[in-house]
Chain A
Amino acid sequence: MSDARETILARLASARPPTAPAPAAMAPPPNVLDPIETLREHLTEAGGSFQIAARGDWPNQIEWPEALSTMEHVYSTLADPETRGVGRTAVFDHELARLDLCVIRGEFAVVENGAVWHVPESARERSAALLAQHLVVVVEESQLVPTLHQAYDRIDLAKTTFGWFLCGPSKTADIEQSLVLGAHGPCTMSLVLTRDGPALSGTAR
């Protein structure tokens, strides 16, 4: 196949158009006035939900897609809620298809489109985030960037085997352009922004 490589490179060299300079980086657009509200709008439009809660107590404060205590199979990269059911016992990753819930921590969120940057620590974490019925992504409120330009300033792809922007649940509109949430991956997706704040006392989980 090295033949093909040389032929193609030679074809490209002989067809080379006149050189055009690489453009300078764009000036980022003006920041939006209310980043939290813009983020909420984008996430809701993408079919996800958006919640803000206190850092130490967020599992008690947010609205879960189903009552947390009733979800049998959970995979979580956070200490709370804890991993249980098939999330703990699975030998092979494809058993994670039975997951009710996957909870992961995102590095930062992008205000202009509602996406969260996430680098799974393991192949299992990536599979869990795809196979679970419900996905919850937790991001620190201080970790917001206005646009994708600033996002890529923070990312180093040369050191990233796999990383993704996540925005909303898996979805499709392939049947008559009618939007359906839950195509192949999670049917719900929740972004939780955590900040300093008081714990709620006596909230049922």
Chain B
Amino acid sequence: MGHVDRARAFVADADRTQWHDQALWFVRTKRDRAADRVPDWEALRQQAAAIKRNALGRLPELWTEFESNAVAAGAVVHWARDAREHNEIIAGLLHERGIERLVKSKSMLTEECGLNPFLEAQAIEVIDTDLGERIVQLRHEPPSHIVMPAIHLRRGEIGELFAKEMGSPPGLEDPAELTAVARRNLRKHFLSAEAGLTGVNFAIAETGSFVVVTNEGNADLGTALPNLHIASVGLEKILPRQGDLAPFLRLLARSATGQAITTYTSHFRGPRPASEGHSPTQANPALHIVIVDNGRSQLLAQPDFREALACIRCGACLNTCPVYRRSGGHSYEATIPGPIGSVLEPSRDPTRHAELPHACTLCGSCTEICPVQIPLHHQLLAWRGRLAEGGQHSRRRRWALYLVGTLFMWPPAYRFLGWSARAIARVFPSRLLEAALAPWTRGRALPAIPKRSFRTLYRDRHRQAAREADNGGREG
């Protein structure tokens, strides 16, 4: 099943599709307003891209520098080659301490590694604490957006879910009341937690610090009380110096949600100091950092795609993408949907994700909006070529591409086809034509068919211009 087939389920609900499209477009316009208020926005994008380019060329040095500084601050650093190693390290840390419940704040890396099912299979309960992530977790589905995990759901569905899972009164639909229900429910978990896991937005080599941003404060609550803080970080998240945080933090929230900054931007270095005010399960703080490769070094080796490692997971390319907005995140069947996901996921599994680079009109809006200047639509085009060469395309797509390719290479055939299409369009009633061209004409009208081709119009216009220039020359 390809992206188109999976999107069919989503677009079957026209109201939802319309709402989804507009909600994300609204976020995109908020981003535009926020960016417009920053006079040096383009300089910021250039700066951020240049910092990442430099960092990607020095990863071994930067990570060892980070490691020694983090260890000096009292953290324990682990390295994981792949998802399995990452999950095993975390399960080991919890088992050693006899911990059976983990409060977790948002981390796309742990989604990618499948941490939740791994821990649950070992009888460790995982509580996602970001509201959107908690909602999709209780529904047993993956996030549909990297910043707004439950953007595909309507309030009624969330009310039903909370009534079932949190005992709220049935029929509750007000977002403020629903949030209050979740707040009460999750507070219990925060107060009794023995271990909290966070992702990492930025790691700083020169200090061994890392930064986590949230609006809800869940990463902070999840780490302020428990003994054990585990931070999972992908190899691409490193910045050389603390001053590098300035351009990235100026770009991140504005690109993601149109906020100038998130409510919480927390800088961790080493474990929390021990406090007498903590209960026994909370009195001996420890910080464990898990550095994860899981395919990132492989992406680094590919010149066409390595710039995608600069991604800061703001989600702006999702919000602006006309395909994402109208097909929903689940249609990508990938940890990260949208343009950036369609670049990253095929490098993990080209056969499984071969359709994703085609879920794109090459409009280029993602490239324009990306705060770190990843040439997304160029990379999507490059992927199409790579997948064709690798034979990963479906048979149907191979045939279609073969036919179109032949046609484009043989001008007389192309002209004949154009001529006959115009002739047929003049004779047949438009309704019949629309039926014949379905599904293209579903939801759009067929444009009026011109009598002459672009080619002849262009040729005549050119001739005319040449004649006029000629005349003008003689008269002058």
Contacts and interface: CB of A to CB of B under 8 A. Distances in A.
Interface in A146-202: 147-149, 151-153, 155, 157-158, 160-178, 180, 182-186
B270 A94 contact: no
B204 A19 contact: no
A29 B40 CA distance: 6
B275 A174 contact: no
A152 B291 CA distance: 25
A168 B264 CA distance: 9
Nearest to A115: B261
Nearest to A168: B263
A124 B89 contact: no
A42 B260 contact: yes
Given A92-B279, A123-B278, A174 B225 contact: no
Interface string B1-40: 0000000000000000000000100110000000000111
Interface in A83-112: 90-94, 97, 110, 112
Contact of A12 (B38, B192, B235): B235
Interface residues of B, number: 103
Interface string B290-324: 01010001101101001000000000000000000
B260 A113 contact: yes
Interface stretch (A20-28, A56-64, A136-144): A20-28
Contacts of A15: 297-298, 300-301
A161 B250 contact: no
A33 B387 CA distance: 53
Contacts of B206: 158
Contacts of B257: 173
B272 A161 contact: yes
B190 A184 contact: yes
B266 interface: yes
A152 B225 contact: no
Contact of B261 (A113, A157, A174): A113
Interface of B: 23, 26-27, 38-40, 43-44, 46-47, 50-51, 53-54, 56-60, 63-64, 69, 73, 78-81, 85, 89, 129-132, 135, 148-151, 153-155, 158, 175-176, 178-180, 183, 186-187, 190-192, 204, 206-207, 209, 215-218, 220-221, 224-225, 235, 240, 242-243, 245-247, 249-250, 257, 259-270, 272-273, 275, 277-279, 282, 285, 291, 293, 297-298, 300-301, 303, 306
When A and B form their complex, which 4 residue pairs have the shortest distance between CB atoms, in order from nearest? A185-B217, A174-B132, A113-B260, A15-B301
